[in-house]
Amino acid sequence: MPSIDLSKTSVRELNAALHKLQADTNETLWTVTNPNGEHSIAAGVDAPVTINVQGSVGYFCGGMNKHANIVIDGSAGQGVGENMMSGRIHVKGDASQSAGATGRGGLLIVDGNASARCGISMKGIDIVVKGGIGHLSAFMGQNGRLVVFGEAGEALGDSIYEARLYVRGPVAGLGADCIEKPLRDTHKAELMELLTEAGEAHKIDIAEFRRYGSARKLYNFNIDNAGAY
């Protein structure tokens, strides 16, 4: 069980060690102490290992993650889980802007609040935020699912493609081409699946959520919709 103290070891050295891991490694549980807000901790990991980060991190923690389970016992700076491919990242505090940006797969959980542009240009990632999210979240969301227990800021889902958004609290405003859609049984089942993965199943009434998605009016230019571009 490797334990890395970032007050004595550089992030570059930590990441180099993680990048050397093979799929069949027996070093499956890593502990990182004294992160002190350093950037790019555990970025680019490509192995089925668990990494427990004991404290808050800076920018791009877990960026490009593939297979790893990363637990951050604190808050995370900009771009946590940016472009992650698979695996799981769990932030036990708050997340700054652009959490899960361009993510292609895996699950990102934020126990607190997420700032602006949460899930921007998401491409298949699942994101569960147990607090609220800031403005322009899911901007140009192409695929994947965003679940928010609290409120959402202005311009939610602006220029959205086919990402699916579920918000329990009030929404300050919807972005271009984003509309509220019916919450059907298939969507309730999808919500229950995500809440189960986030450890929140049966704690929240899924009927309290509202679903948002694309009106599909921006896919092709139409002079009648010019005001929406």
Dump the DSSP string for 130-190. Answer: SS-B-TTTTTT--EEEEEESS-B-TTBTTT--S-EEEESS-BS-B-TTEEEE---HHHHHH
Give the residue extent of every domain in the chain.
3-228
Per residue in 41-77, pLDDT (tens digit) is 999 999 999 999 999 999 999 999 999 999 999 999 9
Q: What is the pTM of this model?
A: 0.95
**Tally of CA atoms within 13 A in the half-sphere of 40 that contains its CB:** 9
pLDDT at 201: 84
Residues of the chain with pLDDT under 70: 221-223, 225-229
pLDDT at 94: 98
Within the chain, strands assigned E span: 3-5, 29-33, 50-54, 69-72, 88-91, 107-110, 123-129, 143-148, 164-167, 178-181, 210-214
Q: What percent of the chain has pLDDT over 70?
A: 96
Reduced to 3 states, what is the DSSP secondary structure of residue 91? strand
pLDDT at 202: 81
Name the fold adopted by 3-228: Pectate Lyase C-like (2.160.20)
pLDDT at 171: 98
Q: What are the backbone angles phi and psi of residue 55, rounded to the nearest 5°?
A: 145, 180
pLDDT at 224: 72
pLDDT at 40: 98
pLDDT at 226: 65
pLDDT at 119: 98
- Cβ-contact 191, 207 below 8 angstroms: no
- Cβ-contact 19, 40 below 8 angstroms: no
Give the residue among 102, 69, 37 at the shortest CA–CA distance from 197. 69
Q: Which residues contact 103 (CB under 8 A, 6 or more apart)?
A: 81, 82, 83, 84, 119, 122, 123, 124, 125, 127, 144
pLDDT at 217: 86
Pairing of strands 107-110, 88-91: parallel
Q: Please give the Cα distance from 185 to 14 (Å, whole number).
A: 45
pLDDT at 77: 98
pLDDT at 60: 98
